[in-house]
Amino acid sequence: MTEEKLNHKILKKDEFEKMNIFGMGNPNDAYAKYFVGNSFLNPLTEIGSSSVFLANVTFEPGCRNNWHIHHATKGGGQILICTAGEGWYQEEGKEAIPLKPGMIITIPTNVKHWHGAKKDSWFSHIAVEVPGENCSNEWCEPVTDEEYNKLS
């Protein structure tokens, strides 16, 4: 069976926690206003201890972040390393990409996008903040239920 056909969907939280090798962490309260549904954050590096910040981000089924943009005048952007469950990544104006463990998404600076879990699966990825100059995040509108529910 090819990797593409393997099912990595995990609906039960206790089953997902066994597969989520970097741990769920704590509720992502600081950024909750930029998410539909509940997300969890487990920092893997201490802020300021390195030029690269890594965090394991976990999304409950149906959870997704708002459209957003990683700005930088040089360098910057984000890399997602999918680790457990199944999710989605979409850039504005493009088709959504289904995400499974082992996939890596490189998000260039100044590209409007969103990412999150599928409706029927928990999802986790490591978020890597790429160092750059004058980096900032712009949070935009939520991904509507209508947009999200079109994905299968």
One digit per residue, the tens of pLDDT, for the chain of length 152 reads 444 566 788 889 999 988 899 999 999 999 999 999 999 999 999 888 888 889 999 999 999 999 999 999 999 999 999 999 999 999 999 999 999 999 999 999 999 999 999 999 999 999 999 999 999 999 999 999 999 999 97
User: Alpha carbon of 83 to those of 16, 26, 54, 86, 87: distances in Å?
Assistant: 11, 17, 13, 9, 10
Two tokens, residue 43: 């920092």
pLDDT at 2: 46
pLDDT at residue 4 in the model? 53
Residue with tokens 């490189």: 106
Q: What is the DSSP letter of 141?
A: P
Q: Which domains does the chain have, with CATH numbers?
A: 3-149 (2.60.120.10)
pTM over 0.85: yes
Dihedral angle sign, alpha carbons of residues 18, 32, 140, 131: negative
CA distance 55 to 48: 13
Give the H/E segment covering residue 147.
Answer: helix 145-149
* 138 strand-pairing partners: 69
Q: Which of 36, 78, 42, 44 is nearest to 60 (CA)?
A: 36
Query: 60: closest CA among 92, 103, 28, 90?
Result: 28
- At 51 the pLDDT is 84
